[in-house]
Amino acid sequence: MPLFFFMSGIFFSYKPFKEFFVRKINTLIIPLIFFLFIPFCIHFLREAILPNITHLFSKTDPPYTYQSIGHIYTLTNTYNEFVNEPFRLNSALWFLFALFDIQLIFYGLKTLFKKTYILAILSVLLSIIGEICIHNDINGLFFIPVSLKFFMYYAFGSLFGRKLIDLITSKLNEKKIIFSCLPILIAITIIDSNTFSYYIQKIDIAIRTFLFIPIAFIFFKEFYHLKIFKPIIFFGKNSLTVLGIHRTCFWLFSFIILRISPDLKDSSILTSYQFYVWMFLFTCFISYFAILFFNKYFPFFVGKKDLIKLKPKTNVSFETVKENS
C-alpha cells in the first residue's frame, strides 16, 4: 500500500483549486460510488429477488450484504471497530477515499508552504499523528486518521518521485542504489521486528518501504519491455477498475465454487494455494473483459473521462463580440 500511495504522489499536479477538486471528484469519488453500486446490485439480486425464483441463489452467509450500505454513516464516527466499516460492500474502496483525503490535505500544504524540506517534515509528522490515532482506535472521522497514516508516502512520491525516476536513468546510479539499498533491506527484513514496540515496528516498515521503492523502480525499468509484463502494464493502466471489481470477483468465485461443491465450505481447500491461484486467474479473466466493457460504455464512471466538466474560460472582450456581430 505505501508503494501505491508513493506512485500516486508522482502524478500530483498543482492546479487552481476548483479545477483540482472537480478532477478528484471525477477520478476518485465518482468511481468509488460506481464500484459500491455494482456489488450492491449483485447482492440485492441474490438476496431479494433471485431466492424467490430458484434455490440456486439461496442465502449462504455472504461476506457483505446489501443492508451494509447503512454502514456508510460510520464515516462521521470518531471510533470504528473496523477501519473499512463504511465500505463493507467493497472493502478495497477505502483506498480511493483515503487518496481523496490525502490529495486535498497535500494540496492545502502545497498552497501554504513552498519549500520541499518543510513539506517533507510536515508529511512525516502527519503520518506519525495518523499512526497514533489508529493505535488508539481512532479510525473514523471521514477516514482522515487512516489517510494520514499513508500521507508521507504520497507526499514523498510527489516531492521526490520524479527525481528518483531521473536518477535511475543512469546505469551507474542503478548499481549504486542496488548495492546500497538491497543489503540493508535484506538485513532489516531478516530481523524479526514483531518483538519490538508498535511504533518501532512502524518505523521498521517505513525504512523497508523507502529502501524497496527505488529497487522496485529499477526492476520494472529494466524488464517492463518483456512480453511477460504486457498484462501487468494493461492492468496497471486500468488499475482503478481492477481495484473496484476484484473484491466482487473474489466473492463471485467463492460463490460459484460453493454452489457447485457445497461440501467444500468446511474444507481446507478454500485456504489452499491452489484455490487462490484459480481465484486469481478467474479475477484476471473477469477484470480483462470488465475493463474493455467499462472503458467503452462507462468511461465517465471509471476515471477515463470527466463526468463533471468545467466550462472553459472565455477571454473574449465586449468590443470583439460587438465587431463580430
**DSSP calls for 166-231:** HHTTSHHHHHHHHHHHHHHHHHHHHS-GGGS-HHHHHHHHHHHHHHHHHHHHHHHHHHTTSGGGHH
Query: pTM for this one?
Result: 0.86
- Please say whether the beta carbons of 106 and 158 come within 8 A: yes
Quick one: DSSP state of residue 238?
A: T
Instruction: Report the pLDDT value the prediction gives residue 69, as an integer from 0 to 100.
Output: 59
What are the DSSP E strand ranges found in 31-104? none
Helix axes 273-297, 239-260, angle to 10 degrees: 130
Q: Average the pLDDT over 205-231 and give the result.
A: 91
Question: In the chain, how long is the greatest CA-to-CA distance?
Answer: 81
Helices assigned H by DSSP within 60-197: 94-112, 116-135, 144-149, 151-167, 171-190
62 inside domain: yes
Residue 264 has pLDDT above 90, yes or no: no
In whole numbers, what is the pLDDT of the chain averaged over residues?
85
176 inside domain: no
Could you give the number of structural domains in the chain?
1
254 inside domain: no
Task: Measure the CA angle with vertex 85, ends 81 and 87; round to 5°.
Answer: 170
158 inside domain: yes
Q: Which three cell numbers stand for residue 128?
A: 506519525
pLDDT tens per residue across span 52-89: 444 433 444 444 454 555 566 667 666 665 666 677 77
Instruction: Report the pLDDT value the prediction gives residue 262, as an integer from 0 to 100.
Output: 75
Residue 114 has pLDDT above 70, yes or no: yes
- Please say whether the beta carbons of 43 and 89 come within 8 A: yes
CA 300, 305, 310, 314 torsion-angle sign:
negative
With a pLDDT cut of 70, the percent of the chain lying above it is: 83
CB atoms within 10 A of CB 28: 21
121 inside domain: yes
289 inside domain: no
194 inside domain: no
Between the alpha carbon of residue 138 and those of residues 82, 103, 135, the distances in Å are 10, 21, 8
Residue 143 has pLDDT above 90, yes or no: no
Instruction: Report the pLDDT value the prediction gives residue 184, as an integer from 0 to 100.
Output: 93
CA 74 to CA 268: how far, in whole Å?
Answer: 34
228 inside domain: no
Which residue range(s) make up the domain with 145?
2-167
